[in-house]
Homo-oligomer: A and B are copies of this chain.
């Protein structure tokens, strides 16, 4: 059986570092936090009852170094950590192949959007685990199991696919909501009118398939309403309306 991870040093002080740090702090000791951002880093260290390391060299030894930095910084940060360290990073799109080899290298990738303003219940959030060794993989699995009951081993390619899907359902959906709200604003209508609909659109998919949930002028081939809508729009919103309508009609044949 793999020995337990009992101490963690965190690198990063963004949304992921904040949420994983707080959640893990309920189960293991966060010995130190390092962040280039002294303000958010020292605040997070204080909240997690750990030492704030201003320099990455002064970060304290721990059973696990948890690297929660942006994708393009993962490799640079890891290359500065001790040769014999056990390290996990939290990025969806960075392949383990692209990281300079360390003794124990792995990934803990929670498929969720985090912001400091919002509490997240991690118990249902999928955590994807990858590791250079079976023993280290098991350690990362057990550690993640403290937070979630949806822990899954996934290699870099699977994680890359999951990340792409996540970009669609989060980044793209948020942008569609942005464009719709912007449109209402341009017509002097309250953007908040959309809130219950935005919420129900997502909640519906927790129990219904998106095929079953699809409604509206596109799937009904209501060409009069579609033509009116396209007429009412301009610029990229018009292009997006047209392309998505065609796509809905293509994927749902009459």
Contact = CB atoms under 8 A, between A and B. Distances in A.
Interface of A: 70-72, 93, 111-113, 115, 117-118, 120, 124-126, 150, 152, 158, 160-162, 164-184, 187, 189, 193-208, 210-220, 222, 224-225, 228-229, 232-233, 236-237, 239-241, 243-244, 246-248, 250-251
Contact of A202 (B198, B215, B237, B243): B198
Contact of A179 (B93, B187, B247): B247
Contact of A125 (B72, B196, B215): B196
A223 to B, nearest CB: 10
A interface majority secondary structure: helix
Contacts of A158: 187, 189
Nearest to A165: B180
A247 B243 contact: no
24 contacts: A71-B222, A72-B222, A111-B193, A113-B215, A115-B204, A124-B196, A150-B193, A165-B180, A165-B181, A165-B184, A168-B177, A169-B194, A169-B198, A169-B201, A171-B215, A172-B176, A173-B173, A173-B177, A175-B214, A177-B205, A178-B214, A179-B247, A198-B202, A237-B247
A251 B194 contact: no
Given A201-B202, A216-B171, A208 B176 contact: no
Contact of A206 (B125, B182, B199, B213): B199
A166 to B, nearest CB: 6
A174 to B, nearest CB: 5
A182 B169 CA distance: 12
A218 to B, nearest CB: 6
A236 to B, nearest CB: 4
Given A115-B204, A125-B196, A172-B241, 9 more contacts: A118-B207, A160-B232, A162-B193, A168-B176, A169-B198, A174-B201, A175-B244, A198-B205, A236-B243
A33 to B, nearest CB: 22
Contacts of A152: 193
Nearest to A125: B196
B229 A236 contact: no
The 9 A-B residue pairs whose C-beta atoms are closest, nearest first, are: A202-B202, A171-B216, A178-B210, A168-B180, A165-B180, A236-B247, A161-B187, A126-B193, A169-B180
A195 B206 contact: yes
A250 B247 CA distance: 23
Contacts of A233: 164
